[in-house]
């Protein structure tokens, strides 16, 4: 055991803290966590936690979601790393998307926004204020299907790929909103109107990568995340969220070869053999990998010293409306 790991564990034992880590964190950080999971799992698992401090190892929007659902807890992060997708949209870009749809002949009363959980508290609050809700990659189809019963157009932010993949699976028409143009009649014909955001990691995977592995290993299975491009998803044997991919792989015979299109750290710890990463380059989320053991130690030390840094604080209105959007999803029980 390294010296810094020993220091972290001693601080953990002295302090009223719970360390939470996302699946994409580095192994050395992930292994020290008390709670692990994907973004929504982590937010929900902290609700009944009794620690004064939640030390969240992940990216900023995840820490914000924990704070939104746990307003009385103190949430600190070793690094307030950004998610590239979440940074692609803010409140102003959300408002501009709504304005373009209005210019296209869609009244605001006929727009129901749904935001992927990979978005800031500010965007979640905008969605909550308009009567909308949050979704995850595992429940997006059910959330959108239920939301369409309202008879409204779905404004899906910020991941165009997840929106398009859900639309394709459901046999619906989708359009990607062009923020550099005004209104367009084609938006009137679509069921799901997607903001033009994406995950920089999942964009690394291509249909050609799948072709390569199928040619090399004819019996291989292909599992991908729905943040991948629709052309990649169309060629996959299994498409699912992080948790769903983990479950799928664990249920396979060990001799079954599988190639996986999602973040490297997760794939690398799934199993020891017959598992490949669907990329010629290392699909590592650089922002998730910003958090180091030294950062974690320094954060715990700052709590012990009575001056915690990188603490998540939110405007009260943003917190209130973002909570509405998150709670609508949780209450839907999808």
User: Which phi and psi (to 5°) does residue 82 adopt?
Assistant: -95, 155
Residue 113: the pLDDT is 98
pLDDT tens for each residue of 191-237: 999 999 999 999 999 999 999 999 999 999 999 999 999 999 999 99
Q: How far apart are CA 152 and CA 11, in angstroms?
A: 52
In this prediction the pTM is: 0.93
Dmax over CA atoms of the chain, in Å, equals 63
Let me know if 115 is exposed, middle or buried by CB neighbors in 10 A (0-12, 13-18, 19+).
buried
The percentage of residues in the chain with a pLDDT greater than 70, rounded to a whole number, is 100
CA separation, residue 246 to residues 103, 260, 266, 282 (Å): 43, 10, 9, 19
Q: How far apart are CA 251 and CA 239, in angstroms?
A: 15
pLDDT tens for each residue of 266-308: 999 999 899 999 998 899 888 888 999 999 999 999 999 999 9
pLDDT tens for each residue of 92-117: 999 999 999 999 999 999 999 999 99
* pLDDT over threshold 60, residue 1: no
């Amino acid at each position: 055991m390294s010296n810094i790991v020993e220091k972290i564990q001693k601080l953990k034992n002295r302090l009223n803290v719970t360390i939470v880590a996302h699946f994409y964190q580095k192994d050395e950080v992930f292994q020290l966590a008390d709670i692990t999971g994907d973004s929504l799992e982590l937010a929900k698992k902290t609700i009944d936690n009794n620690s004064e401090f939640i030390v969240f190892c992940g990216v900023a929007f995840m820490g914000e979601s924990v704070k939104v659902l746990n307003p009385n807890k103190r949430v600190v992060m070793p690094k307030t790393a950004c998610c590239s997708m979440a940074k692609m949209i803010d409140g102003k870009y959300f408002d501009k998307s709504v304005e373009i749809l209005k210019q296209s002949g869609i009244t605001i009363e006929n727009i129901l926004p749904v935001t992927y959980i990979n978005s800031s508290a500010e965007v979640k609050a905008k969605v909550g204020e308009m009567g909308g809700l949050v979704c995850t990659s595992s429940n997006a189809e059910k959330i959108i299907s239920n939301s369409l019963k309202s008879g409204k157009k779905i404004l899906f932010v910020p991941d165009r790929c997840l929106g398009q993949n859900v639309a394709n699976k459901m046999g619906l028409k989708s359009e990607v909103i062009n923020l550099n143009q005004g209104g367009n009649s084609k938006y009137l014909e679509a069921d799901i109107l997607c903001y033009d955001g994406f995950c920089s990691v999942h964009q690394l995977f291509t249909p050609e990568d799948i072709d390569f592995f199928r040619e090399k290993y004819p019996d291989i299975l292909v599992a991908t995340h729905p943040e991948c491009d629709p052309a990649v998803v169309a060629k996959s044997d299994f498409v699912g969220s992080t948790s769903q991919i983990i479950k799928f792989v664990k249920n396979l015979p060990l001799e079954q070869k599988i190639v996986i299109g999602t973040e490297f750290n997760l794939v690398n710890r799934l199993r020891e053999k017959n598992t490949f990463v669907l990329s010629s380059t290392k699909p590592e989320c650089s922002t998730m990998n910003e958090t180091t053991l030294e950062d974690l130690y320094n954060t715990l030390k700052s709590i012990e010293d009575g001056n915690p840094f990188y603490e998540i604080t939110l405007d009260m209105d943003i917190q209130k409306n973002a909570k509405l959007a998150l709670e609508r999803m949780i209450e839907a029980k999808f």
